[in-house]
Amino acid sequence: MSGTDTLDFTARFSRERPYNRPRGGDVERAGYSLQASGIAALEDQLESDRGRIINSAAVRRLQQKTQVFPLEHNAAVRSRLTHSLEVQQTGRFIVRTIFRKLGDRAEHYGLKGLERAMESLVEMACLMHDIGNPPFGHFGEAAISRWFEAHARALVPFSDAAAPEVLREPLLRELASFEGNAQAIRLLSRLQKLNLTYVQSAVVLKYTRVATEGRPAAGAAFSYLQKKPGYYYSEREFVEQMQRALGMEPGCRHPLAYIMEAADDISYCLADLEDGVDKGLMSFSVLADALKAAYAKARPEDADQARFRNFGDAKSFAQLVDEVLERAHREPINKDHEFFVSLRVKLIHPLVNHAAEAFIAHLGEVFQGRLNRALLEDGSPCHSVIETFKTVALEQVFSVPEVETLELQGYRIISGLLEHYRPLLELDLDAFDRLRSGTSKGLLIESRLFKRLPAKHVKAYESMRAEQPDDASTELWECYCRCRLLQDMVSGMTDQFALDEFRTLSVMGPL
């Protein structure tokens, strides 16, 4: 923990929100700081954040977006919501473990009394971490990105025939890089206007690159933190205000974002495997053999060493899995359930402990938000466990014909929806403004498509129109806003609604 003598985590906490933002500069902003207002005032504001988040439509929609199996009728298979609840609990566990390990040292780093606030911040960030994901998961992201990559340049303001503009290529790059993490920041700041405290929003910001910029080269200072877009150009001012409010440097994370990320890493890999067994893609016995083989391959030099301790003697990974397998075979009623409960109990403690230890060991870099990796990505045995889960999930779950077919169907649905709404993008600015004003003469198809757009997304489009930057023409900026409008609409759909809308517009169902 070198370089930690001057750390004061209180600087990364504030009760400031976008709509109580002071207009008198740094002096007034200081009144929202933790030092000025105290822990009790901060906790009151975080409780308000909890209510706004839990009651938001974005969180409710997670119950109809699936984790691995789109349009799944089996209620035991995870939705994005049930997955997020699991991540939430793991995040809370990591925070409590960090404070237990720090003990009296917490006061030295400005963390005394902040355990409850940190638990709330991490829990709510975990609950929100997937709210920007489109229908059909990563295939939905790919469908949106590839469709705009293929078609955006054909729109007149983005075409080569238009007058040269500085922002044209950066905005095209962004539109072809749809990212659920960036969409989450857009949802909470603009589409839902949750007006969360800046500190709560900051814990959701997983990646720190604006989508108009390219990915940094391997080995660059922020190569990991900026490997994916973290926010869109349209939300750049919000992120800049958030950074100023919390004393964060550009390109850096909030310290608690590392905990949110670790909680997700720990939760989702095992969950995907459990869903695969529940769907009958493999038995738990086959899974156990696959896990042991994958771990041995990942660590050929020390796979048999006893590295995992959980309320007793340390065990090797293979010994741990064998114990779980034996316990499941002894269970008379629900062997699958017993296997995963036991496996989770035996692994959650070592993984959470390791994440907490990594947080503390790199406290200086974590505080600055410059640690250029995930807490669990360190070549350790715990890192190998996470990679083992990912490898087996890819081989045994994601690569089976049923899942691949569902992914292809999801890709076709999203691409087809964008194609159906394409006429709205092809209108010139004057014609689209006529649609907005209620004039439909000569716009037979377009007027009917426009009426299907959610009102809140149209209002977000209109607010963006008013934020035109100096270095973009009216036509280019409006076209970018309109593309965002369609991405907002499609990405906000649930799996079932996307299918229903696609069938309706494709005339595939009964009339």
The single residue of 29, 83, 151, 168 carrying the catalytic annotation is: 83
Decide: 259 and 91 in contact? Cβ < 8 Å.
Answer: yes
Does the annotation count 83 as an active-site position? Answer: yes
Decide: 350 and 311 in contact? Cβ < 8 Å.
Answer: no
How far CA 334 is from CA of 272, 326, 328, 340, in Å, comes to: 19, 13, 8, 11
Q: What is residue 337's three-state secondary structure?
A: helix
Amino acid residing at 167: L
The DSSP element (H or E) to which 231 belongs, if any, is strand 229-231
The DSSP element (H or E) to which 409 belongs, if any, is helix 401-420
Q: What is residue 110's three-state secondary structure?
A: coil
The DSSP element (H or E) to which 229 belongs, if any, is strand 229-231
Strands 229-231 and 209-210: parallel
List residues bridging with 120 in a β-sheet: none
Q: What is the DSSP letter of 214?
A: P
The single residue of 49, 264, 275, 488 carrying the catalytic annotation is: 264
The angle formed by the CA atoms of residues 53, 55 and 449, to the nearest 5 degrees, is 95
Instruction: Report long-range pairs for 60-66 (Cβ below 8 Å, ≥24 apart).
Output: 61/131, 61/492, 61/494, 62/130, 62/131, 64/494, 64/495, 64/496, 64/497, 65/130, 65/133, 65/135, 65/137, 65/494, 65/495, 66/137, 66/495
Q: What is residue 130's three-state secondary structure?
A: coil
Rounded Cα gap, residues 276 and 18, in angstroms: 42
Q: What are phi and psi of 213, to 5 degrees?
A: -95, 150
> What value does the CA radius of gyration of the chain take, rounded to a whole number of Å?
24
Does the annotation count 448 as an active-site position? Answer: yes
What sections of 205-316 are H helices per DSSP?
A: 236-246, 255-278, 284-298
End-to-end Cα separation, the chain, in angstroms: 67
Only one residue has tokens 């700041």, namely: 189
The single residue of 130, 265, 272, 488 carrying the catalytic annotation is: 130
Decide: 505 and 489 in contact? Cβ < 8 Å.
Answer: no
Residue 59: partners with Cβ closer than 8 Å, 6 or more residues away = 53, 81, 84, 127, 128, 131
Rounded Cα gap, residues 221 and 253, in angstroms: 13
The single residue of 129, 151, 344, 434 carrying the catalytic annotation is: 129
Does the annotation count 495 as an active-site position? Answer: no
Catalytic residue numbers read 83, 129-130, 264, 448
